[in-house]
Amino acid sequence: KNEVEQSPQNLTAQEGEFITINCSYSVGISALHWLQQHPGGGIVSLFMLSSGKKKHGRLIATINIQEKHSSLHITASHPRDSAVYICAALISSGSARQLTFGSGTQLTVLP
Amino acid sequence: DADVTQTPRNRITKTGKRIMLECSQTKGHDRMYWYRQDPGLGLRLIYYSFDVKDINKGEISDGYSVSRQAQAKFSLSLESAIPNQTALYFCATSDGARGLAENNEQFFGPGTRLTVL
Q: How far is A51 from chain B (nearest CA, A)?
A: 10
CB contact A4 to B (< 8 Å): yes
pLDDT of residue B111: 96
Q: pLDDT class for A3, splitting at 50, 70, 90? A: confident
B50, amino acid identity? F
pLDDT attached to residue A92: 73
Are the Cβ atoms of A99 and B88 closer than 8 angstroms? no
Smallest CA–CA distance from A31 into chain B, residue: B101
CB A14, CB A110: distance < 8 Å: yes
Q: Rounded to whole angstroms, how far apart are CA atoms B82 and B85? A: 6
Res A63: pLDDT: 95
pLDDT tens digits for A10-66?
Answer: 999 999 999 999 999 988 888 899 999 998 889 999 999 989 999 999 999 999 988
Closest residue in B to A36 (Cα–Cα):
B108
Which chain A residue lies closest to B47 (C-alpha atoms)?
Answer: A98
Rounded to an integer, what is the distance from CA B58 to the centroid of its chain? 11
pLDDT at A93 > cutoff 90: no
Identify which of A42, A50, A103 has the shortest CB distance to residue B102: A50
In angstroms, the CA A68 to CA A85 distance is: 18
**What residues in B contact A31, CB-CB < 8 Å?**
101-102, 104
Give the minimum alpha-carbon distance from A59 to chain B in angstroms, rounded to a whole number: 17
Closest CA to B4 of A104, A33, A44: A44
What is the average per-residue pLDDT within A77-89? 96
What number of helices (H) and strands (E) belong to chain B? 0, 11
The pair phi, psi for residue B101, each rounded to 5°, is: -60, -30
| Dist CA A39 CA B116 (whole Å) | 22
To the nearest whole Å, the CA of A101 is away from the closest chain B CA by: 5
Cα-based distances in Å from B28 to A17, A72, B93, B96? 39, 29, 9, 11
Between chain A and chain B, how many beta carbons pairs sit less than 8 Å apart? Answer: 62
C-alpha span between B31 and A98 (Å, rounded): 11
Judged against a pLDDT cut of 80, whether residue A94 lies above it is answered with no
Mutate to test the interface with A, among B104, B107, B112, B114 (most CBs of A within 10 A): B104
Q: Is any Cβ of chain A less than 8 angstroms from the Cβ of B8?
A: no
Q: What are phi and psi of A80, to 5 degrees?
A: -70, -10
**pLDDT in the model for residue B104:** 82
Between positions 76 and 105 of B, the ones with CB within 8 A of A are 88, 90, 96, 100-102, 104-105
CB-CB contact of B99 with B35 (8 Å): no
Instruction: Report yes or no: B39 at the A interface, CB cutoff 8 Å.
Output: no
Give me the pLDDT at residue A91, please.
83
Determine if the peptide bond prior to A8 is cis (ω within 30°): yes
Query: CB distance A101–B106 less than 8 Å?
Result: no
Q: What is the pLDDT along chain B (117 residues), one digit of tens a residue?
A: 669 999 999 999 999 999 999 999 999 999 999 999 998 788 999 999 998 889 999 989 999 999 999 999 999 999 999 999 999 999 999 987 666 677 788 999 999 999 999
User: What is the pLDDT, as a whole number, of residue A43?
Assistant: 95
Per-residue confidence (pLDDT) for residue A101, from 0 to 100: 92
Q: How far is C-alpha A37 from the chain's CA centre?
A: 11
Pick from A37, A42, A72: nearest CA to A58: A72
Sign of CA dihedral A61, B23, B48, B51: negative
